[in-house]
A = this chain, B = another copy of it.
């Protein structure tokens, strides 16, 4: 697919206008548009503009209630439980991370569990949101079943993405990763190019590990990171997000006709003496960057490329597949 570049403000305006047509109130339409645009701006189009048409479709189908806002249903110290009321997933997540930040700034740390929400799109956005406020951020979400337990040939676990974000003056450290070795999107992309994955990414239908994306797309058995270990981590995140929010777990989401009413968890810490904190983080990053190289050009830390990509895309325009942009304009 050939790519266009569209200026960032123009992307936001375009999405905002569409969202208003779908009855999102002006300020909410603006933030929602910005969160989609920012994902693409930062180089994560798979969870940015590429998802916008299916987001609108979920509104049309009634899975996303554009007017719904989160509602607090429990409050114990600096832990809060919120109900997302099936509102737009990125607005709900942004709201709850903001709530966790506010709690952290008041009490040192803050925790929000969110139920009945929808896909948060690019999780990394909420990590950036935390570090921009000087907070350490952690958040994760459950999903529909899409990854097998270790030893099983059916997907009962979610790939449950997790985001961990650390403030740092020269550029924050932001890890944003799912529990599968490769995302479905990445495997589809390798498959379209008829290429093998660089490492084993799942099981074929005989239960053998394979690098062939089509076999994994057919079996629907992607590999958990670290094999049994990532399967265990995924289980833990589903338990924590769904029980603390008193919301739905992956097995319940799997019984629905679509992925909605999912559960999420947001946690922030506001480090005392942020300048000392960030200097210590920088020492750790400097040491990592001094690693001798075996593969590739350099050792990179999570989120390292983001600021540069953002700067470049702000100047040159946000990259978007021509077909996707056309699809968006036609909405």
Instruction: Mark A residues whose CB is within 8 Å of B.
Output: 74, 76-79, 107-109, 111, 136, 148-154, 156-157, 164, 166, 173, 175, 177, 181, 199, 203, 207, 209, 224-227, 229-230, 232-233, 235-236, 238-240, 242-244, 246, 249-251, 269, 271-272, 276-277, 280-281, 283-284, 287-288, 290-296, 298-302
Top-5 shortest CB links A-B:
A225-B226, A153-B294, A152-B291, A251-B287, A76-B108
Interchain Cβ contacts under 8 Å between A and B, 30 examples: A74-B272, A76-B107, A76-B272, A77-B107, A136-B240, A149-B299, A150-B299, A151-B295, A151-B296, A151-B299, A151-B300, A152-B291, A166-B236, A173-B235, A175-B235, A177-B229, A177-B232, A181-B227, A199-B227, A203-B294, A207-B294, A225-B226, A226-B229, A235-B288, A239-B281, A243-B280, A246-B276, A249-B287, A251-B283, A251-B288
The residues of B that contact A164 with a CB separation of less than 8 Å are 233, 236, 240
Q: Which residue of B lies closest to A272 (CB)?
A: B76
Complex CA gap A244/B280 in Å reads 10
Tell me if A236 and B277 are in contact (CB < 8 A). Answer: no
Tell me if A242 and B280 are in contact (CB < 8 A). Answer: yes
User: Most chain-B Cβ atoms within 10 A of its Cβ — which of A157, A181, A243, A276?
Assistant: A243
Complex CA gap A182/B9 in Å reads 48
Identify which of B109, B232, B251 contacts A77 (C-beta below 8 A).
Answer: B109
Contact flag A175-B233 (CB < 8 Å), given A78-B107, A108-B79, A166-B239: yes
Tell me if A108 and B166 are in contact (CB < 8 A). Answer: no
The residues of B that contact A298 with a CB separation of less than 8 Å are 151
The residues of B that contact A290 with a CB separation of less than 8 Å are 156
Identify which of B78, B151, B230 contacts A108 (C-beta below 8 A).
Answer: B78
Complex CA gap A56/B92 in Å reads 53
Tell me if B251 and A299 are in contact (CB < 8 A). Answer: no
Q: Which residue of B lies closest to A168 (CB)?
A: B239
Q: Which residue of B lies closest to A240 (CB)?
A: B136
The residues of B that contact A152 with a CB separation of less than 8 Å are 291-294, 299
The residues of B that contact A250 with a CB separation of less than 8 Å are 284
The residues of B that contact A277 with a CB separation of less than 8 Å are 243
Q: Which residue of B lies closest to A302 (CB)?
A: B232
Tell me if A230 and B226 are in contact (CB < 8 A). Answer: yes
Q: Which residue of B lies closest to A156 (CB)?
A: B291
The residues of B that contact A175 with a CB separation of less than 8 Å are 232-233, 235-236
Q: Which residue of B lies closest to A248 (CB)?
A: B280
Tell me if A271 and B299 are in contact (CB < 8 A). Answer: no
The residues of B that contact A150 with a CB separation of less than 8 Å are 295, 299-300
Tell me if B236 and A153 are in contact (CB < 8 A). Answer: no
The residues of B that contact A240 with a CB separation of less than 8 Å are 136, 164, 166
Complex CA gap A136/B203 in Å reads 33
Tell me if B292 and A153 are in contact (CB < 8 A). Answer: yes
Tell me if A291 and B227 are in contact (CB < 8 A). Answer: no
Tell me if B74 and A284 are in contact (CB < 8 A). Answer: no
